[in-house]
Structure 1
Amino acid sequence: MQRRIRTRILITAILALFLLSGYGQITMPRFFSDHMVLKSDTTTAFWGWAQRGQPVFVKASWMEDTIKTVALGTAKWKIDLPTAKAGGPYKISVICRNDTLVLNDVLLGEVWICSGQSNMQRSAAHKLPQMLDVLHGPFNNKVRILNVRDIASETPQDNIYDMWQTCDSVSLRPFSAIAYFFAQKVSQTLDVPVGVINASWGGTCAEVWLPAGEVLTDSFLSAKSRLQKLAPFKPHLPGQAWNSMIYPFVGYGITGALWYQGENNTVSWDGYARLFSKLINSWHRKWKKDFPFYFAQIAPYNYKNKGLQRGALVREAQNQVSLSVENAAMVLTSDLVNNINDIHPILKKEVAIRMADLALVNVYHAISKNPYSPILKSYTIEKNRIIISFHYMDHEKLEVHNGDIIHGLYIAGKDRKFLPASYKIDGNKLIVFNPSIQHPVSVRYAFSDTTLTNLYSSNGLPVSLFRLDNWNQPTK
């Protein structure tokens, strides 16, 4: 594994030296390519390398003026490129002495970066029925995709191997279903170009997706990271995917990020809220922008845990992050599972639509609806009943779908023995009780690895799992 990582670093270094030698006066990261999408109505960073000390001229076809800069002693040049309203296609020419680099079919619109592990990475190549249907067309030319190959690195990299593509049956086959369906929904709703960058890697832990120092300088998180084991075909050390799959894009104008990961951190569930919060905040700091960060709560799955339900504990940690981190929001998957023995639920379009609705409400103000799933807010105990309130329910009511029984609803007294609970719904409040328990102290809902939820808000979104205790014991 380490040998493969070092080899790829060496290849990247040799490639950069080749491009900066006499074979060309100017080069750029490969994600500045034909068919790319740049963030519209803003000023975005635009950079590359050229002969040291030489002037570099950038001309974009949506601008009247040409921008001039100079390559520094490191050979790097960089400009702040003003963009126009969403549209295109446009052309960008970059000139240094006798060398001209031309980027064609450039669109201005919205750009989102999508990351995580296999549930973000799943595609038509994994025989997802929803994506296989997409391959028949027609294809939206306003949606552009960039699929970043899985390469790890011990040090931050300046470049990648991959370029932007238009959508067709070939380019979409290996591409993230969630990223594609998100882009399609946003593009169709706003009628603007949308570019999505998929930089995800199946089986990875969160530690590999943020700068290594964020983990290694935190003794608690550093100890938790050592629970991740060396395994074939994936990185496991802090920073290794960040360095090569995210860091090269730092500064590229993005609207926001989508994330689906957490399954591989069930081994270190008690550090996940802290780790994931650091991940989001570190991305914000690196981009110098508190962009929206929307993530999927991991789905019910039979981890075959005995005792502690670590999948549920990770979902609980994700609840905490969604409520505490600036500009972070969560969508649920707990009602979108067809097989609890498959860690890869096949309904990816529904997850993407829920993420798109968050963006369409919060970022673009394009639709009017409540895009949030209810999360535990507070509770009161009145005699033998516990009355529970939720975030994001001010104008909604609770509903039970698929019968009259709420799946996974339990209540316990001081003896910590959970019994199935009865309930009443009072608008947006849940009243829980059991005639056998006269002095209840805790309620749990869907607090297991495998419970499929059926308690909903009237906005059509499921209520997230919760517990009113901190007991390290299974519900039953």
Structure 2
Amino acid sequence: MPIRIWGNADAKEIVNVTLNGISQSATTDKSGKWEIVLPALEAGGPFTVQVKGKENEILFDNVMIGDVWLCSGQSNMEFSLKGSTNARKTIRHSDNKHIRLFTVPKNIQTAARGDLPEGNWEECNPLTTPDFSAVAYYFGEALQKEVDVPVGLINSSWGGTDIETWTSWESAMANPVYMVHEGKSLEQAIGYSTRDLERYHQALRTKDKGMTERWYAADRDISDLKTCELPSAWDGELANEDGIVWFYKDVVLPQSVSGLSALLSLGSIDDRDVTFVNGIKVGGTNNCFFGRRYTLNPGVLKPGRNRITVKVIDMGVKGGFTGKPKDLFLEVGGERYSLVGKWHYKPSVLTSHYGLGNLGSGPNAFSSLLYNGMIAPLVGYNLKGVIWYQGENNTNRAYAYRNLFPLMIKDWRRQWGYDFPFIWVQLANFMAVDTQPKESEWAELREAQNMALSLPVTGQVVITDLGEAGDIHPKNKKDVGQRLAANALQVAYGRDSIASGPLYRSMELVPGKIILSFANMGKGLQAKGNKYGYLNGFAIAGDDRKFVWAKAYIEGDKVVVFNEALKRPVAVRYGWGNNPDDMNLINSAGYLASPFRTDSWSGVTQPTLYK
């Protein structure tokens, strides 16, 4: 592709750019903006780029020419390599000068920006990979081996975010929730600006009364403070707030704890914490993905009353103690003291104190806030394609996702001016396995993701075999990344290969049975792990719409589904649940069929309007 390079200089200044011996000049406009377009070049490097103006020049060394992929979404894309399965070994062997990494800083903006506040391209090596997106890394590693050109990975992701915040304000007008703001800017619609956000964030850094007034002191009187039940996300008066809130819990301990070390477990906290015991700081964590387990040195605890104080900083979305009750305890002298129950609390800095209303300051407060700060500055940078991993945050509005997902894809393509390949990860299996067939928000979201395959140059990877029932962030990111790479080779590079599983196409009713037909079978359908062709994960229903588990088997290139007790079946569902962990219908390439249903009956999210 032609190489676009742009920037800023003085008005009417002539800027010259040289890359690999090829030079091009441009004159800035009245606002100082300039842009040049160099001809397409063969992949390779390293090269030097010289940008020269009237009185100064900038040199960029170690520049590569290759394929750049934008990697975006929520927490499962943000999830760092150091937290994934076999991370130490992977990081130790991650040295590859032909892979370059760029992380877009988290940035909420109420108007589209042309620049990122900071960020650098980095070579892929054990120093740079630990905190980079695991999915993106494994994708790039597998892809680069196959295409044998330099690969650049831009990670622009933020955990716990809705798809609406990644869509431009222009396209948000196609969302019924935001249509009422037609003709207004986002700032006019939301009622505050980035400047207000900056005032609030400055307060987070410098105006926490809890620190200046020593709210962590062991003898502080907390008797008049309000109380809440923990563990819990912020609720009640804090439900729509972000900011800093201090929490207190007194624990009475026996004489035997004197001189003993201890373990304080607080479970998961969203987003950050600073923790004190009896006025002594014992720990602090800046990552919501990790549970809090702090070792208390001998002498910190004492017989009688002990004060646990936790400063919680919520940067957006939903704050608070988000872990499980079993993970909230103090352990000392072989005894475990539960910390579940009543805690006192006192807010220090809240979004409502700074004119941000009850929307909070987080990225989900309104449409387009992350598009403006984390996608808009990238527009124009030539991409080979996009990989996307998001949807968990939209499951309660899965029916709306049928429109919101393709709306965002088409929005980004329109902004860039061409239909780049767009490949996504379908939601993993999660939560408890259903003992009986039931409705499912997660299944409806997967269905919405399936529907987006109607857009051109798109791909999807199914990972309902990689999830973890008790963890929304499954650790196996290697298989996710490698499946994305295989899909990209087909969708973006034109490989004649099978890179995804069977897709349901049609059904035929016969007495007592339903016969299903599929596309994308390769050399045929198979039952993974069952040489007799028996399939798991199917449910069947009659006119009463009550689904029961079904028997299913492969017959030729079809799947036959039945239940002896059901004489007149009318509909089939496959993998329809939060955690369909036993799905085993695959094609000859070994890829799982996507969950699907043959009916179009109203689901649990269909009445929900867009949000």
- After TM superposition, the score normalised by the length of structure 1 is 0.84
Conserved? CA contact 2:110–2:372, under 8 Å: yes
Contact 1:398 1:429 in 2 (8 A): no
Q: Distance in 1 between matches of 2:81 and 2:10?
A: 43
The answer on 1:206 being equivalent to 2:163 is yes
Aligned partner (choices 74, 79, 82) of residue 36 of structure 2: 79
C-alpha contact 2:51 2:58 (8 A) present in aligned 1: yes
Q: Kindly indicate whether the alpha-carbon contact (under 8 Å) linking 1:187 and 1:194 is maintained by their aligned counterparts in 2.
A: yes
Counterpart for residue 32 of structure 1: none
| 2:550 partner letter | A
1:460 is matched with 590
Query: Which of residues 494, 500, 504 is equivalent to 1:376?
Result: 504
Q: Give the CA deviation at 1:217.
A: 4.3
SS at match of 2:86: helix
- Cross-structure match for 1:233: 315
2:440 corresponds to which residue?
309
Assess if the C-alpha contact under 8 Å between 1:303 and 1:311 holds in 2. Answer: no
**Does 2:465 correspond to 1:335?**
yes
Query: What do the CA deviations read for 1:185-211 (whole angstroms, capped 9, x no partner)?
Result: 111112211000000000001001110
SS at match of 2:66: strand
Residue by residue over 1:18-45, the C-alpha shift from the partner in whole angstroms, topping out at 9 and shown as x without a partner, is xxxxxxxxxxxxxxxxxxxxxxxx2022
Q: Aligned pair 1:101/2:58, yes or no?
A: yes
Q: Does 1:48 align with 2:4?
A: no
- The 1-side partners of 2:562 and 2:485 are apart by 37
Specify whether residues 469 and 104 from structure 1 end up closer, same or farther in structure 2 by C-alpha distance, changes over 3 A only. Answer: same
Q: Tell me, in whole angstroms, the C-alpha distance in 1 between the residues paired with 2:37 and 2:511.
A: 64
Partner of residue 15, structure 1? none
Distance 1:261 1:333, change over 3 A: same
Determine whether 1:320 maps to 2:451: yes
Q: Which moved more, 1:301-310 or 1:258-267?
A: 301-310
SS class of match (1:282)? helix
Residue 151 of structure 1 corresponds to which residue in structure 2? 107
User: In the comparison of the two structures, how many residue pairs are matched?
Assistant: 424
Rounded to whole Å, the distance in 2 between the matches of 1:203 and 1:166 is 28
Counterpart mapping for 1:150-169 below 5 A: 150-160=106-116, 161-169=118-126
Shift of 1:221: 6.8
Give distance in 2, aligned partners of 1:138 and 1:128.
Answer: 14
- Bigger Cα displacement from structure 2, 296-305 vs 67-76: 296-305
Instruction: Report the 3-state secondary structure (helix = DSSP H, G, I; strand = E; otherwise coil) of the residue aligned with 1:380.
Output: strand
Whether the 8 Å CA contact 1:260–1:296 is kept in 2: the answer is yes
Distance 2:600 2:393 in 1: 23
State the match for 2:407 in structure 1. Answer: 278
Who is 1:249 aligned against?
Answer: 378
Q: What CA deviation, in whole Å up to 9, does each residue of 1:405-451 have, x standing for no partner?
A: 53321111112222221222123311111122121101111101111
Give % identity: 33
SS at 2:97 equivalent: coil
Deviation at 1:383, TM superposition (A): 1.6
Correspondence for 2:211: none
Does 1:132 pair with 2:88?
yes
1:388 to 516, 522, 533: 516
1:110 to 24, 45, 67: 67
Closer, same or farther: CA 352–192 of 1 in aligned 2, 3 Å: same
Residues 53-92 of structure 1 deviation map (CA, whole Å, 9 limit, x = unaligned): 011111112x3x4211101101000011223111100001
Q: Which of residues 136, 142, 148 is equivalent to 1:179?
A: 136
Letter paired with 2:417? K
| Displacement of 1:471 | 2.9
Aligned mates of 1:467, 1:149 — CA distance in 2:
40
Q: Distance in 2 between matches of 1:304 and 1:214?
A: 38
Q: 1:397 aligns with which of 503, 525, 528?
A: 525
Amino acid at match of 2:445: V
> What secondary structure is seen at the aligned counterpart in 1 of 2:61?
strand
Alpha-carbon distance between aligned partners in 2 of 1:271 and 1:446, rounded to the nearest angstrom: 21
Residue number in structure 1 paired with 2:421: 292
Query: Counterparts of 2:569 and 2:421 in 1: how far apart (Å)?
Result: 39
CA deviation string 1:370-412 (max 9, x = no partner)? 1122221111111211111122125432323368753321111
In 2: Cα distance, 1:139 partner to 1:113 partner? 21
Quick check: which has more Rg, 1 or 2? 2
C-alpha distance in structure 1 between counterparts of 2:476 and 2:513, whole Å: 37
2:487 matched residue in structure 1: 358
Contact persistence 2:44–2:150 (CA under 8 A): yes
Please, which moves more after superposition, 91-100 or 213-222? 213-222
Q: Which range is displaced more, 157-166 or 401-410?
A: 401-410
Aligned to 2:18: 59
The alpha-carbon distance between structure 1 residues 473 and 73, as it changes in their structure 2 partners (threshold 3 A), is closer
Give the corresponding residue for 1:18.
none
- Which moves more between the two structures, 406-415 or 154-163? 406-415
Is the Cα–Cα contact under 8 Å of residues 406 and 455 in structure 1 kept in the other structure?
yes
Shift of 1:304: 10
Cα shift at 1:220 = 5.3
Q: CA deviation at 1:132?
A: 3.0
Task: Could you tell me which runs of 5 or more consecutive residues in structure 2 were left unpaired when the two chains were aligned.
Answer: 181-189, 191-238, 243-313, 317-362, 605-611
2:384 and 2:432 mapped to 1: Cα distance?
35
1:124 positional shift? 2.9
8 Å CA contact 2:535, 2:553 repeated in 1: no
Query: Gaps spanning 5+ residues in structure 1: where?
Result: 1-41
RMSD of the TM alignment (CA)? 2.3
Does structure 1 conserve the Cα–Cα contact (< 8 Å) formed by 2:19 and 2:48? yes
1:428 match: 557
Higher relative helix content = 1
CA contact (8 A) 2:549 2:563 kept: yes
Map 1:437-456 → 2, pairs under 5 A: 437-452=566-581, 453-456=583-586
* 1:267-295 C-alpha deviation (Å, 9 max, x unpaired): 21110010000000001100001000000
AA in 1 matched with 2:520? Y
| 8 Å contact kept, 1:205–1:264 | yes
Q: Which position in structure 2 is the counterpart of 1:21?
A: none
Question: Could you list the per-position Cα deviations for residues 342-381 of structure 1 after superposition, in whole angstroms to 9, with x for gaps in the alignment?
Answer: 101111111111111122223224x542112222111111
Q: Which has the higher strand share?
A: 2
